[in-house]
Amino acid sequence: MKNLSLLKHLLIFATILLVVSGCAHQPVPNAYAPPGFFTGFLHGFIILFSFIGSIFTDVRIYAFPNSGFSYDFGYFLGVSFFGAIINNK
């Protein structure tokens, strides 16, 4: 009985979360030449330094507006490459 109540609460929470997140959107990027793959790779590679800088200054660790998937993919690869270098002992 207790598991059923927990499952019911989780389903209600998940439904509310999906309804609220369905309203989220990003503004349309209006840029002449938004950052692309290589800029994303660079930003992903220097994420540690950008994060430290963002604590003390108004530095963002993710570019907006960007070119979308290509920037995101480059960012992901940069973070992965940085992580591989750090973990390679």
Pairwise pLDDT comparison (1 vs 50), residue with the higher score: 50
**DSSP result, 6-52:** HHHHHHHHHHHHHHHHTT---PPP--SS---HHHHHHHHHTHHHHHH
**Domain tally, the chain:** 1
Residue 89 pLDDT > 80: no
Q: How far is CA 56 from CA 25, 44, 51, 63, in A?
A: 28, 19, 9, 18
Pairwise pLDDT comparison (26 vs 43), residue with the higher score: 43
- The pTM of the full predicted model, rounded to 2 decimals, is 0.62
Give the pLDDT confidence of 38-86 residue by residue, as tens digits: 999 999 999 888 888 888 888 888 887 887 889 999 999 999 988 887 7
Domain that holds residue 6: 2-87
